[in-house]
Amino acid sequence: LKETHFRDKIGTLSEFEDEMRILNDSIPPNLKNVVFIDDLDRCKPQILSEIIEALQLLEVSRKCIYILGMDMHIVVKTIESEYAKLNPEVNSSLNSNNPLEHGAGYRFLEKIIQARLSIPSFDVDAMSRLAGSLSSQPDKEDPTEHPSSQPGMSAQLEQVKAKNELPAETEAPRDSPEVAALIERYGARYFRNPRRLKRWVNSFRIHVYLAMADKIDVSAEHLARFLVLCEKWPGLVAMFLAHPQLFEAWLGGEPEIESFREAVNSSDLFSFQDAIETLQQDSVISLFKGDSSVDEGDSSVGMIKADELRLLCDWYDFRFYR
């Protein structure tokens, strides 16, 4: 018989099992191996399917625990989508007839997931501490004025240059008291996810400098609020760009929400229904109109007008990816 090296044909999965078996045998009986597989929801559908199939086929061992990090909703939808591509009839038969039960994707995952643990959301105090740690202002001094009453950032840059306060190249960059205060104020209020908070902080810092360099006449607070809107509710920004007259009327107290529903019709490229409902939230209203409790009773000081919104969108190259 011709010599055949079957080991060369059994694949990576079997080799992985062999390695894990050796590793399991090498540790004390009271310990376990823990394998973390993170960000499954970020994998391409084909890769995700291969990983799940491999987990199904892996030899079960009491000394090895697999921990999967993922957004269940995304993974479930991906699994169901892959099933539908293979055989739509099989996919429909796997779904329960009871509309109150989980679908096929979730039930498929149940076969390999023995226990599910959700990571709790960050509370306001925790996000406030994180926002404070992200602001690189060591002295934590409060700005002498509320940011909305400060001059435009191009004017602020000229003031800094005149005072010769630019940091030395060897110094670590630091936030101004105004920027640090805005990071803590808006970061803690609008973000519950550390990753999104850090992305917003980084974007805000970069665009503060870009606005200065481009001589964009906008306050740091308006820029901070605009970037919160772009990160959290881009559909609102897109709606007001499409309907500037309604935006101006809404800033002035009119029209009612029903007027938006009448103006937004089926000819629009995307639905604004969720955006319209969001307009009734106080936290969203204050991003556009300002907070009268902070602006000393004059909400117009902190108000972002339609012309300014258009200017910021053009400069920022705003896009709504829907």
DSSP string for 287-299: HHH--TTTTTT-G
Provide DSSP, 31-82. Answer: --EEEEE--GGGS-HHHHHHHHHHHHHSPP-TTEEEEE---HHHHHHHHHHH
Q: Which two tokens stand for residue 293?
A: 């409790």
Where in the chain are the domains? 6-110, 124-316
Angle between helices 234-242 and 220-232 (to 10 degrees): 100
212-224: average pLDDT: 91
Q: What are the φ and ψ backbone dihedral angles of 27, each rounded to 5 degrees?
A: -100, 155
pLDDT at residue 322 in the model: 64
Q: How confident is the model at residue 65 (pLDDT cuts 50, 70, 90)?
A: confident
Q: Which two tokens stand for residue 201?
A: 């902080």
Tokens 């003031």 belong to residue:
159
88-98: average pLDDT: 56
pLDDT at residue 306 in the model: 87
Report the distance separating Cα 197 and Cα 185, nearest Å.
12
Angle between helices 72-86 and 45-57 (to 10 degrees): 90
Q: Which of 54-58, 82-86, 155-159, 202-206 has the lowest mean pLDDT?
A: 155-159
Measured CA to CA in angstroms, residue 179 lies from 94, 127, 243, 289 at distances of 53, 17, 31, 20
Query: What is the dihedral sign for C-alpha 128, 133, 138, 144?
Result: negative
Angle between helices 306-316 and 234-242 (to 10 degrees): 120
Q: Are 151 and 117 in contact (CB under 8 A)?
A: no
Q: How confident is the model at residue 263 (pLDDT cuts 50, 70, 90)?
A: low
Q: What are the φ and ψ backbone dihedral angles of 227, each rounded to 5 degrees?
A: -70, -30
